Amino acid sequence: MVITPFKPTKFQPTRWTLLFLLLSAMMILMGGAAIAPALPLISAAFPDTPDSLISLIVTLPSLAIAISGIFIGALSDKIGKMKILVASVAIFTIAGCSGYFLTSIHALLLSRIILGIGIAGITCTTSSLIPCYYEGPTRAKVLGYQAAAMGFGVLILEMSGGLLAGISWHAAFLIYLIGVVILAGVLLSMKEPVLPKIEKNTVEANEEFPLSLLLLTYITLFMGSMLFYLMPTKFPYFIANLDAARILGENTALISGLFLGIMGCAASIIGIFYGRLVWRFNQYTILAIIFICFGIGYCSLGLATSLPVVAFSVICIGLGNGILMPTILTWIATITPKQFLGRASGGFSVALNIGQFASSLVVVPVIAIAATTSTMFLAFGSLAFVIALPYLLAMMKERHTLPQGVVRKMESDL
């Protein structure tokens, strides 16, 4: 098959398009965990339910995304990304807010599965629309902005969830009403991009789905996601048992939301500057930095007895996660032809969310051995350093870098 040259879409993305792409991206990472600060209160409301089942409220959407992501991504390539995005934001809003009315733990868990399907559609479409709308250095900057939006989403959603949890655990689910605003903006500011057409019955070309290359990106994302998602699932319990966190009383949900928000701020700040980082360091250097940040953050958290140390820890973890997402998305966009971006983004959402769901499973035997949340954080911090080693070795072996003249030109374009 031969692919005709890509013709720019007639639709030119505006600032409003970028804004609502980024607002949609806010829901990718923390949509399932927006009510994490309320987990201890939900545990108290259902005293006969084990904490491992309660934690599924955060991680079950990830499983639903992992199961449905590939299919939704492929469907978006066939019927259009905008149709999937609009439907997904609507599902996200309805399923998310339903927790305000539900009183059964089983009904609550079912609503989280439906929420996950909505997040899967948002993940696939926003991650593939950005490479369709933007090219070159602009695309790198926008992917950095997307990571910043995800981090800002942590700040807004987690702190708002913590504030609402102070009213009741039911009220924490009202944070999903943000989907109403985003749905309106998506309908008004975005259109379906025009993609290259594939001519049939012609000579075979090299434009094929790069599965073997994508597998490495997915494995890297899986490991990073597994490490990061310890925060929304276990950090609230860590804070609840930390004496220094009781500065506002026994209800530590707001303190938990505040520190998760600080983590989001760190991710946002590094995301804003990602467009410059990507041209200064090679890919393996960036990946090594990511897991070193995770290692420092979790080991510091495991040793923390004061709030300043906790703040340092969450900043390190936020920096690592803020670099992770745009690095993987840039990697995928670079190696994937545009007509396969929906499917590749589906794989992205699967790897991201299998990692998130796996974090809740892996932590069970680890914390059984470690006995405390602090020791568990130390164990996973050590694991992060081990994961960084292959990327450090690859970084040292990397010999092909961009000429300085090219780098300076790219930096001037940025």
pTM across the whole model: 0.70
CA distances from 125 to 122, 213, 248, 359 (A): 5, 21, 41, 25
Distance, in Å, from the CA atom of 32 to the CA atom of 156, rounded to the nearest integer, reads 14
Establish if 201 belongs to a structural domain. Answer: no
CATH number, domain with residue 128? 1.20.1250.20
Establish if 407 belongs to a structural domain. Answer: no
Instruction: Give, as one character, the DSSP assignment of residue 198.
Output: E
The residues, any chain, with a CB within 8 Å of residue 54's CB and separated by 6 or more, are 39, 42, 43, 46, 105
Contact call for residues 370 and 234 (beta carbons, < 8 A):
no
Backbone angles phi, psi at 200, to 5 degrees: -85, 165
Establish if 340 belongs to a structural domain. Answer: yes
Point out which residues pair with 198 in neighbouring strands: 3
What is the number of domains present in the chain?
1
Tell me if residue 3 falls in helix, strand or coil. Answer: strand
315-326 pLDDT, tens per residue?
999 899 888 988
Establish if 199 belongs to a structural domain. Answer: no
Tell me if residue 308 falls in helix, strand or coil. Answer: helix
Establish if 197 belongs to a structural domain. Answer: no
Q: How much is the CA Rg of the chain, to the nearest whole Å?
A: 21
- Buried-state track 166-195, b at ≥16 Cβ within 10 A, e below 16: beebbbbbbbbebbeebbebbeebbeebeb
The residues, any chain, with a CB within 8 Å of residue 194's CB and separated by 6 or more, are 7, 8, 9, 10, 11
370 token code pair: 């470690």
Tell the burial category of 264 from Cβ atoms under 10 Å away from its Cβ (0-12, 13-18, 19+). Answer: buried
Tell me if residue 197 falls in helix, strand or coil. Answer: coil
> To which residue do tokens 């930096």 refer?
411
Provide the pLDDT for residue 299: 94
Point out which residues pair with 2 in neighbouring strands: 199
Establish if 198 belongs to a structural domain. Answer: no
Tell me if residue 199 falls in helix, strand or coil. Answer: strand
Establish if 412 belongs to a structural domain. Answer: no
Instruction: Give, as one character, the DSSP assignment of residue 192.
Output: P
Q: Give residue 371's region: left, alpha or beta (phi > 0; psi -120 to 50).
A: left
> To which residue do tokens 């470690």 refer?
370
Provide the pLDDT for residue 197: 55
Provide the pLDDT for residue 312: 93
Backbone angles phi, psi at 130, to 5 degrees: -60, -50
Provide the pLDDT for residue 154: 64
* Domain ranges, residue 97: 15-192+211-399
Provide the pLDDT for residue 10: 59
Establish if 410 belongs to a structural domain. Answer: no
Residues of the chain with pLDDT under 50: 1-9, 198-205, 400-414
9-51 pLDDT, tens per residue?
457 888 898 888 888 877 776 666 678 778 888 888 888 888 7
Provide the pLDDT for residue 25: 78
Question: Please, what is the Cα angle at 209 between 203 and 211, to 5 degrees?
Answer: 140
